[in-house]
Structures are given as structure tokens and as C-alpha cells.
Amino acid sequence: MAPRSKVHSLPPELKEWLDAELVKRGFGDYVQLAADLKVRGADVSKSALQRYGSPFERRMAQLKMASEQARALVDAAPDDEDKLGSAVVRLTQEKIFTLLMDMDIDADSVDVNKLFKNAAEIGKASVTHKRFSMEARAAAKEEARRELMEEQRAKLEAMPNKGGVTADTKAAIREALGIV
């Protein structure tokens, strides 16, 4: 069995620094990165950094693409009833179950409750997002309605009292439109 990578053996704070530096440097400049790590007390070769950085870069690219696709999907097909969120929870639960069944894992050694709890958290986040989205839409709608009423009020006030338009007529129009 191959020895564990020196990168994975780094202390957590140094590993966090490395991850941030890899992203900041565009997953390049491994020679300088190895030198910077050496100054910080870690002797990791540029090759080890490359072996660690390449899959990390792929995962970052996949995550970015998935985020962009999700954003485009939500923009193209709003999900007011959160059917997508419900489907994600069900699919996640089904995938976890299938994974456990397909793998030769001792079910007693896996905390299934934790796995399902994570799926429930996904659903909860979706509901919270939906609630926020609905509240934001309602606030925007109310603001647009208020602006329209203000505009109508201003136009009514600017209307001259001639041609049969009396103060009583304006009052009737205000009442009919709900302009207070």
C-alpha cells in the first residue's frame, strides 16, 4: 500500500492555507508553493502538490459548473412548490440506501441516521430558501404597488379642476382606486 500523501498529513491550519493558495494561484506555480510550504515548516515536493492539486482543481471546476447549471435551471424553471427540493431529498435518501446495499459495508459500522439527517438538512435549507424567496417577491410586489399608488395619487393631484372634474369627482376616483 502506498504511503499517505504528505499533503494530507499537514496540520489543519496549514492545509487550509494550502487550499486557499492553490485556488488563489490558479492551481499552478507548484515550485513556488513548495518553497513557501518549506518556509512554513512543511517539506512537500512540487510533484506531491501537483498530485493533490489536480483532483482538487477538477472538483472545484465540477462544483462551479454544477452551481452555474443549478442557477440557470432555477432561472429557467422556477420551483415555487419546491418539488425539486423534495426530489433531491428523496433521491439522496435512495442513493444512500443503494450505496449501502451495493457496498460490502457492515451496516452496523455506518451511522445511517447521520446520512439521513444530512438529507433532511438539504430539504430544510431548500424550504428556508423558498420562504426567503417568497418573502422577497412579496416585498417587491408590495413596493411596486406602493409606487404605482403614489404615481396615481400624484397624477390625480395634478389633474386640473375643469372640464367637469370636481373635488368630489377626484375623491370618488381616490376611493375607487384605494388611494388614501
pLDDT digits (tens, 9 = 90+) for 15-65: 999 999 999 999 999 999 999 999 999 999 999 999 999 999 998 898 888
99-127 residue pLDDT tens: 766 766 666 676 777 767 877 787 787 77
pLDDT mean over 2-21 = 88
Predicted confidence at residue 86, as pLDDT, reads 64
Q: Evaluate if residue 79 carries a pLDDT over 70.
A: no
pLDDT of residue 32: 95
Q: Which three cell numbers stand for residue 155?
A: 397624477
Which of 2-16, 60-74, 80-94 is predicted with the least confidence, judged by mean pLDDT? 80-94
Confidence of residue 158 (pLDDT cuts 50, 70, 90): confident
Global pTM value: 0.46
Which of the two residues, 85 and 120, has the higher pLDDT score? 120
Question: 151 or 179: which carries more pLDDT confidence?
Answer: 151
Lowest mean pLDDT among 4-8, 16-20, 50-54, 140-144: 4-8
80 or 160: which leads in pLDDT: 160
pLDDT score of 15: 92
Distance CA(67)–CA(92), nearest Å, equals 18
The whole-chain average pLDDT of the chain stands at 82
Q: Name the residue type at position 127.
A: V
Coil vs helix vs strand at 43: coil
H helices of 4-45, where?
A: 12-24, 30-39
Q: Which amino acid is at 14?
A: L
Give dist(CA 91, CA 96) in Å, integer. 9
Q: How many angstroms separate the CA atoms of 180 and 178, rounded? A: 6
